Structure 1
Amino acid sequence: MQKYYLLSALLLVVLFPSMAQKDYFFPDETFSPSIPSPEDYFGYPIGDWHTRYDLMISYFEKLAESSDRASLEVIGYTNQRRPIVVFTISNPANIQNLEGIRTQHLRLVDPSLALPDVSKMPAIVNLAYSVHGNEPSTTEAAILTAYWLVASESDKAKNIRENAVVLIDPAINPDGRDRHSNWVNMHKSFPAVADPLDREHNEIWPSGRVNHYWFDLNRDWLPLAQVELQTKIKWYHSWYPNVVGDFHEMGTNSTYFFEPTKPFGSENPIIPRKNYEEINNKFAGYFAKALDDLGSLYWTKEVFDNSYPGYGSTYPDIQGGLGLVFEQGSSRGHVQNSQRGDITFAFTIRNQLATSMATLEAAVNEREYMHRYLREYFETAITEAGKDKSKAYVFGDEYDESRNRLFLKLLLDHKIKVFENQKDLSSEGKSFKKGKSWIVPTSQPQYRMVRTMFEKVTTFSDSVFYDASSWTMALAYGIPYSSQSAAAAGNEILVLPELDLNFPELGKYVAYLADWSDYFAPKLLHQLQEAGVHVETTAVPFTSNTNQGAKEFPAGSLIIPTGFQKLNPEELRAAVQKAADGSSQHIWATTTGFSAKGIDLGSNNVSAVTVPKVLMLIGQGTSQYEAGEIWHLMDTKVGMPMSKVDVSLFGRINLFDFTTLILPSGNYNALTSGQINHLKDWLSKGGTLISLRSASQWLQSQEIVKEEYLTVDAEKEPDLLSFANQRNYQGAKNIGGSIYLANLDTSHPLGYGYRSNEIPVYRNSTIFFKPSKIKYQTPVRYTSNPLLGGYISDSNLEKIKSSASVFVSEVGSGRVIHFIDNPNFRGTWFGTNKLFFNAIFFGNKM
């Protein structure tokens, strides 16, 4: 039986009608009968169900098969092996000549080349959807946009096909999207339930927003921690689109948002003002008209940070294009109550479709302008670089080859030019060795990305941040670096150089040795332990006469005695070599336990490394982001299995089966008094508990630890404050994400492998603990002048100066290691990861 619903455009009370899908989404449009519509292909109108990713892929395959106006390319795969695709639409001649068009377009980003005739060049437009998997209207709009552009016989569609190459990312986060789609589809009621409390509208943990490793991919365009964005960036730099649409959803009671964003406060200061003040407003008129035609309300110029380069709407701005964020009030299911009435899935899709089509129309109408802007952007980058006092940055860690390579790869992935350093340098108290350091000149097309990687910013036009206020990647990697007024650069690094690993020749050795300074030394240790090799570590430095001469080994370095092994000498050598190759580590060997300097190999300062067995509590009430960062770290940087157990199953856990328990930020009030007593008993008998941020507050509330919070005199409150300014006033009290310098005790087990007694740390909370009452159990504590980058209020800065970043609570024979600052933030804080590795492998040595 057909049901008819009243459409009230004024109130935005929109219920998807049973009229033909074409009439709702495409009134007055004529389509080629040879191209199947989504409704014909899926067997339901778009908006009736959340379309599974595999069905969407198969429909795009059908479109490409049915028309010479389209092609489908698989550019990679997710962790769950879903294909990452780009669907391309243009006229048949362009589809046959995509490589020629791409090559010609890339001439625009190289100021050394003559400007091509832009009047004859098509606009390159990238429409990107569903970076957050539980913002589902986006991918459904991608399906409809693709159908319309391939099949429509309208003049508008024809004009776009003639004058643009349209590149559609239907879902940047396929794994998260399917997680959400399955959830809402399996909880759909007949009739649909609009109550926001209904199970359909409330996902379980983890949400579909995140990918396989529970990362927010719309923060990953800069750090490139996840395979989806590693794939995307590689593809992006093969095209440099003129315009990128970045489609999202927001709270159900909101209407629709498009750029421009909040002036100055939400804008990136290194992007030309022309982008914000001229181009954004030029395009905004198209979006306003598209939504006005539907009677849909919208808003602009408020909130929505556009400063952090890791967003899908900001990164294109720093690549000479126009990144555009779109936000639609979400139905989070098929229909949901809102302050304006019931919002349906189909209604949200229609708005996204309208702005998608408007983006294409605007990009075509402004194509010559945007081509010229792309060239201008990279020309002005070199001009600005010429005015910069910094003519280059030199960077490199003399002792950590792997971290150098990881940072080099990041720079190369972002198309930043890097050169060999030709001579030993000393600058700002740091030493940079020839062959172990590199030069990044500022005078290059990617000058603004160079600033993003190295520049420290502490002054801002606003004090309220949607996300991070600092993102200096060199600090995140903990790479020593220095600005240079001049530098002699050698050969350009085009690809990562091959590793030449040291491994001793056959011989009769007392021990094999490995330096703990390298980032991947924990991976080596795990692989050795997995192979059944007995491994020991030193608590103090020593110098050994090795097969390659005298070599100094810092605290934490690995000693693999050839005695005390279950493996015979040949098996041991093979196991060590396999682990070294698998972790890219150098190995030394010695024929004597008598050291050239410091302790001998049989010293009481040398002890066995216990094989860790790690458990992490996850689930409702815990941070899916922090848990995902830890899971990803252990999987991809160590390769070590770790049990992830839901908090609700804690009653089934025998903690004595594990050496280490990790508590990500969260509320663990679901644990019963008996379960808490079990935790206390395990701790007191030698367990190691690693606690992050608010989890330490919970431990304090349960008196599992008895530390002290830090308080200082607060700033004087104003006598009066206007209601309109309350958000700015309260927001300034937060720490949205900034970088600080801390002192590091390299003699503490948490500091093993570090060569410097200073370390940058990332903070995005207002949790302040005093240093431990035990004088030697605060291995990471802020310096007296800690701010390196980002915004912080004066009162919070004073608290930071007196507080602990990482400290240890002794509980009987066990210990709690408190990370008040997240050492694994967004999978990109390589400089502090080793603190976390040390907590796992050396926790019982504190």
Structure 2
Amino acid sequence: MKRSLLIIILFLSAFAKAQDYYFAAYAPFQQNIPTPEQFLGYGIGDQHTRHDQIVSYLEKLAEVSDRATIAEYGRTHEGRKLVMLTVTTPENHTNLERIKTQHLAFTDTSQKATNYDQVPVFIQLGYNVHGNEPSSSEAALLTAYTLVASQHADIVNYRKNAIIFIDPTINPDGRDRHTQWANSFKGSPLVSDNIDAEHTEMWPRGRTNHYWFDLNRDWLLGINPESRGKLNWYHEWYPNVVTDFHEMGTNSTHFFEPMLPIGSLDPIMPKENYEDLNNLFAPYFADALDQIGSFYFTKEAFDGTYPGYGSSYPDLQGALALLFEQASSRGHLQDTDFGTISFPFTIRNQYTSSFATVKAAVENKATLRKYQQDFFVSAFAKAKTDQAAAYEFGDPNDRNRTKAFIDKLLLHRIKTYKKGDGRYVVPMAQPQKRMVQSFFETYSTYRDSVYYDASAWSVANFYNMRYKGLNSVPNLRDEITSTETIATVTPVSKTKYAYLINYDDYNATALLYHLQQKGIIVSTAFKPFTAKTQRGTIDFNYGALLVPVSRQSMDATKVHTIVSEAQQRYQVPIYATNTGFSVNGIDLGSRNYVKVDTPKAAMLIGDGTSSYEAGEVWHLLDTRVHMPITKILMNNFRFADLSKYNTLVMVSGNYSRLSDGDVQKLKTWVSQGNTLITIGRATSWAINRKVATGKLTEKKKDTSKVTERKNYVDARANRGKQRLGGAIFEVDLDLTHPLGFGYRYRDLPVYKNNNVWLAPSKSEYNTVAKYTKNPHIDGFISEENLEDNLKPSASLVVSPQGNGRVVLFADNPNFRGSWYGTNKLFLNALFFGSLIN
């Protein structure tokens, strides 16, 4: 008995010693509440904690303490829980709905609340949006325990004067991918050598989610369930302060805001936010880190120009969003220029900054509340001076793309109204006025030329949504609160002759694949026509789909059943006709209808390739077309039987791993009648390796120009301006080309975030999309790149190779899962590539 007692005492004292490194300053703690170490069975920092263990611990805190509750706000692609732990006093929990109502009064301009210091401040601590930046989720465990269990006067005060929401892992799928890697390669003793496998994850690494999306770019775009769940939660609570904890290079220190000045000439974010509030909070972080001897820096990096970060989106919602970047141990212990950096050290800095945030927020809650109130009031005041009073938009020919765009507006609580005839109106004078700006406004003048990420994000252009500013607001009556009825269609009636489908609709490709999978033979029209249908006379565009009933291997009843099921699933207009004689244009028996072969697609992935672009292709086909694509690892290419596929996708990347034999294998496969689709840097590679016969734009060199001497300190900025971080340009699209099927207008916005300059084809028919004479729509591009590189270039070219072809995309048509406007170009390459002669 004495021996057992001694073991227990030694066990608890060991835990206490481990705990002291993190939170000795917040003792004493409630003894009935387990520490993370006691619950997990190992010290925080001794190994990486799986997400399910993190959730279980927070659930335990909610179970044993009336200071905590836990709620699920969503699930990841892989089914992991997304949870929010709420910590405050038991009394505040009991009255949380009343407190919430009082809090939201400051976001409601119809109310004149003045009790700024009498309502608990709402703080949302968000951790681990990048899965392989793991220290913050470990810090979240320590933070949660301290806030729930500590009896220290400061913590008691925080609980009383704040509602604290802890989101421990924003990206559970990516975290667990990295956690498994780091724990699997952990040595005993620890190996600090940078080249050790523990510190060098394999492709695609843990930064991203299941489909390899960077969730820290997804707040504005709202593509993934992790982001959509978080946005729905956010707009229910509107916290006053939001944190965004990250990691950076091992040889760095610790970063907190203020950031690098915003690159926009006239930022949408209020100046009071990025100057006054940041400078108000910064001394708290400096003091806390000084006390534990940690080094740090501010202002030198990480701009908040793009509104889709976790550290910028809340700034457009009346909150103060705060970015933290901690030097990473990328494992448990790693060498640096200043010795080793340990996992516990990185965790302690994140933990320290968490409590500095809580302290600053509680001590300045009246300032934060007044700021949030003024923020929403100013939205209406500033709307009076805007050039446009409202924006009108819509595409009656593509209701599913319009629906997807409206869904995004509603996700951000942007008030939208129906005008009629497939058109909609968004007024500027509304609480989400700054989000309206983010969706519709474009810019051409900037005060900086180097961006951490994109310099253009006008979402309307992402969706190829034709819109215009209005000088006055029309009569607004029918507010859209749901997208359920926007794309509904009239059920198609039965015919024994043919079904016709305009290819304009975004979901038409998915419907086409569905029909093909059910054994339906489908043709596409190479010329437009007008036909009599059971619903009247209808005009059909290039690419219209034809289902000839009598040419199917099943009877008319079965065909109608399959066509009806497809229509119900994808809500695409389908028309039945009883005659092949057209009112205008080609008849239904014309040779200008060509059978569409079912794509059998594969994509090269793995080391050297862009996991972002590969994930975008995978996500598009999985979630919208419901079509499988085989993902071939680069190392397996030489063993792959390419005869199983008629289409191969190569995204941006370094394909030097492919041997000369691999390249010849690829050339032979293309020449046999197949389609190779290249995107971005894969296009450059294909041209340089003679897989495609295209050329890159060559800038004429001025040999007489003398090199100008410049200061070394300016090198990064001067060279950085030639990098195209992300901007939007206009191309002229050949609507008659199979790759242009389904488009109604020749002018099309495209997104460019690379320096791939593709020369137009020497063939007069193979340049599918070329930049227009005045191509700039939105975002920063240097004058040199615009005039010498972009304007002479093409965005999309076809290179015939034997009986096959290479479809060369200079730009990424699937960027971040959000370019609905150019997805169809890529899908056309998959489905209609074999039809290009």
Aligned to 1:431: none
SS at match of 1:20: helix
Cα offset for 1:711?
Answer: 2.3
Residue 531 and residue 268 in structure 1: after superposition, are their counterparts in 2 closer, same or farther (change >3 A)?
farther
1:755 to 738, 741, 744: 744
Cα distance in 1 for partners of 2:299, 2:545 equals 56
1:562 aligns with 2:549: yes
Bigger mean CA offset, 558-567 vs 700-709:
700-709
Give the deviation of 1:701 after TM superposition: 2.2
* Alignment match, 1:454: 440
What SS does the corresponding residue of 1:160 show, helix, strand or coil?
A: helix
Corresponding position of 2:44: 46
SS state at 1:405 partner: helix
1:801 counterpart residue number = 791
Q: Which residue of the partner structure matches residue 617 of structure 1?
A: 604
Q: Deviations over 1:538-560 (max 9, x none)?
A: 11111110011110111111100
| Distance (whole Å) between structure 2 residues aligned to residue 701 and residue 587 of structure 1 | 45
Asked if 1:845 is matched to 2:824, the reply is: no
1:822 has 2:812 as partner: yes
2:422 to 422, 426, 436: 436
Equivalents in 1 of 2:177, 2:122: separation in Å?
31
What is the distance in 1 between the residues matched to 2:170 and 2:402?
Answer: 29
Q: Structure 2 residue aligned with 1:646, among 626, 633, 637?
A: 633
Q: Is the 8 A contact 2:456 2:726 kept in 1?
A: yes
SS of residue in 1 equivalent to 2:117:
helix
Q: CA RMSD in A?
A: 1.3
Aligned amino acid, residue 170 of structure 2: I
Alpha-carbon shift at residue 19 of structure 1 (Å)? 7.3
**Contact map agreement 1:418 1:493 (CA 8 A) in 2:** yes
Q: Which residue of 2 aligns with 1:474?
A: 460
2:756 counterpart SS class: coil
Letter in 1 for 2:424: W
Query: 2: CA distance between counterparts of 1:830 and 1:233?
Result: 21
Give, as a single letter, the amino acid of the residue that structure 1 aligns with 2:71. E
Instruction: Work out the CA distance in 1 between the residues paired with 2:291 and 2:473.
Output: 58
TM-score w.r.t. the length of structure 2 is 0.96
Q: Match of 2:165?
A: 167
Per the TM alignment, residue 713 of structure 1 is displaced from its structure 2 partner at its CA by 4.2
Shift of 1:608: 0.7
Q: Which runs of 5+ in 1 are unaligned?
A: 1-16, 422-433
Cα deviation code 1:330-355 (max 9, x no counterpart): 00000001111100000000000000
1:18 Cα deviation from its structure 2 partner:
8.9
CA distance in 2: counterparts of 1:536 and 1:827, whole angstroms = 28
Of 781, 784, 788, 1:792 maps to 781
Query: Which amino acid letter does the alignment assign opposite residue 637 of structure 1?
Result: R
Q: Percent identity?
A: 47
Q: Counterparts of 1:290-369 in structure 2 under 5 Å?
A: 290-369=288-367
1:253-282, Cα deviation, whole Å (9 max, x unpaired): 000000001124389801111111211000
Provide the residue aligned with 2:3 in structure 1.
Answer: none
Matched to 1:380, the amino acid is S
Q: Structure 1: how far apart are the matches of 2:387 and 2:15?
A: 65
Structure 2 equivalent of residue 810 of structure 1: 800
Residue matched to 1:61: 59
Contact 1:261 1:267 in 2 (8 A): no
How many residue pairs are counted as aligned between the two chains?
A: 817
CA positional deviation for 1:682: 1.1
Residues 396, 421 of structure 2: 8 Å contact kept = no
Describe the superposition over 1:41-61 as per-residue Cα deviations: whole angstroms up to 9, x where unpaired: 111110000001111111111
Contact 1:693 1:767 in 2 (8 A): yes
Query: Does structure 2 retain, via aligned residues, the 8 Å contact 1:267–1:307?
Result: no
1:189-204 to structure 2, matched below 5 A, reads 189-204=187-202
Question: How many angstroms apart in 1 are the aligned matches of 2:425 and 2:65?
Answer: 49
- Checking the alignment, whether the CA contact within 8 Å between 2:265 and 2:446 is kept in structure 1 is no
Residue equivalent to 1:777: 766
Structure 2: which amino acid aligns with 1:842?
F
After superposition, give the CA deviation of every residue in 1:369-415 in whole Å (9 maximum; x if it has no partner).
11111110010111111111210100011210001101111011101
| Aligned partners of 2:265 and 2:445 also within 8 Å | no
| Alignment-mate amino acid for residue 599 of structure 1 | I
Instruction: State how far apart, in whole Å, the 1-side matches of 2:444 and 2:711 are.
Output: 27
Amino acid at match of 2:773: S
Distance (whole Å) between structure 2 residues aligned to residue 636 and residue 437 of structure 1: 27
1:29-77 Cα deviation digits (max 9, x unpaired): 2110010001111111100000011111111111111100001101111
Aligned-pair distance for 1:770? 0.7
Tell me the secondary structure at the aligned position of residue 807 of structure 2: strand
Could you tell me how far 1:119 is from its partner in structure 2? 2.3
Name the aligned partner's letter for residue 738 of structure 1. Answer: A
What corresponds to 2:241 in structure 1? 243
| Contact 2:130-2:208 at 8 Å conserved across structures | yes
Q: Which residue is equivalent to 2:650?
A: 663
- The answer to whether the 8 A contact 1:267-1:306 is kept is no
Stretches of 4+ moved more than 4 A in 1? 713-718
Deviation at 1:510, TM superposition (A): 1.2
Match of 2:680 in 1: 693
State yes or no: 1:132 paired with 2:121.
no
In the alignment, structure 1 residue 586 sits paired with structure 2 residue 584? no
Asked whether the 8 Å contact 1:266–1:306 carries over to 2, the reply is no
Q: Does 1:600 align with 2:587?
A: yes
Q: Of 480, 484, 489, which residue of structure 2 is paired with 1:501?
A: 489
Mapped to 2, the partners of 1:402 and 1:589 lie a distance apart of 21
CA distance 1:124–1:515, change in 2 (3 Å): same
Question: 1:705-763 CA deviation, whole Å, 9 max, x = no partner?
Answer: 22222123469676210011111100111111000011010000110000001100000
Q: Deviations over 1:771-802 (max 9, x none)?
A: 01111111110000000011111110011111
How far apart are the structure 2 equivalents of 1:334 and 1:96? 41
What amino acid maps onto 2:50 in structure 1? R
| Counterpart-to-counterpart distance in 2, 1:18 and 1:202 | 31
Residues 508-558 of structure 1 show CA distances to partners (whole Å, capped at 9, x for unaligned) of 431011110000000100111111111111111111100111101111111
**For 1:549 and 1:645, how far apart are their aligned partners in 2?**
48
1:676 corresponds to: 663
Aligned residue for 2:158, secondary structure, equals helix
**Match for residue 279 of structure 1?**
277
Once residues 707 and 675 of structure 2 are traced to their aligned partners in structure 1, the CA distance between those partners, rounded to angstroms, is 45
